[in-house]
A and B are shown apart, each in its own frame.
Chain A
């Protein structure tokens, strides 16, 4: 089964600073990969998804971007963080016809 790794676990960044969150997948190849954000209040918002290397689809126009430089690597970035970017960021992956998504441990981002 696949394992999703994310780092860092927590991050405190000032407004206007850049961001780079990394997600890597172990135990599978050609996964679909997803970035979600969970703000206070528990709702999960899909930010980006990728069905292959270099293929990124954005769900919500915002201050963030994503890239997939390798099959099992998914990166979430921002050039200048906003206060509203604070939240819990989760990376997930799915493969084949199983359809369930497996999640990483998440990164808690606080923008100050």
Chain B
């Protein structure tokens, strides 16, 4: 069965600190897709990144970077020089793709960036 675990329930950092959000997944499929979403206080989920199981290349986008390691079934998300606007709940998710493309979400990590 598919499962996504985000062990960190809440993280609090001071502005300009780096922070890493952990995500561990379980799946028996050889082809799958991993995602990160941001949910600010307004509530709407904002898509951040998708990673395919056959592409382990890490990715950097501005202050955001993602480390995908199949050997440890992890897909961690790092925010460099955090800012108050980064305060949100962050969700990691897994999909087998296919016709239905259902997402399995982790329970989310609440990130609070203090000024």
| Chain A residues near B (Cβ < 8 Å) | 32, 34, 41-44, 46, 49, 51, 57, 59, 88, 90, 92, 94, 97-106, 108
Contacts and interface: CB of A to CB of B under 8 A. Distances in A.
Contacts of A104: 44
B47 A101 contact: yes
Interface string B35-58: 101000011111100100000000
A89 B59 CA distance: 31
Nearest to B42: A105
Contacts of B89: 42
Given A42-B110, A97-B97, 7 more contacts: A41-B107, A88-B43, A99-B33, A100-B33, A100-B47, A103-B45, A106-B43
Contacts of A59: 102
B: contact size bracket: 20 to 34
B101 interface: yes
A92 B105 CA distance: 14
A89 to B, nearest CB: 10
29 contacts: A32-B99, A32-B100, A32-B101, A34-B103, A41-B107, A42-B107, A43-B107, A44-B91, A46-B103, A49-B102, A59-B102, A88-B43, A90-B43, A92-B45, A94-B101, A97-B97, A99-B33, A99-B50, A99-B97, A99-B101, A100-B35, A100-B47, A101-B101, A101-B103, A102-B47, A103-B37, A103-B45, A103-B47, A105-B42
B44 A103 contact: yes
B26 to A, nearest CB: 17
A44 B45 CA distance: 11
A98 B50 contact: yes
Contacts of B33: 99-100
A5 to B, nearest CB: 12
Contacts of A100: 33, 35, 47, 50
A33 B20 CA distance: 31
Nearest to B105: A44
A57 B105 contact: no
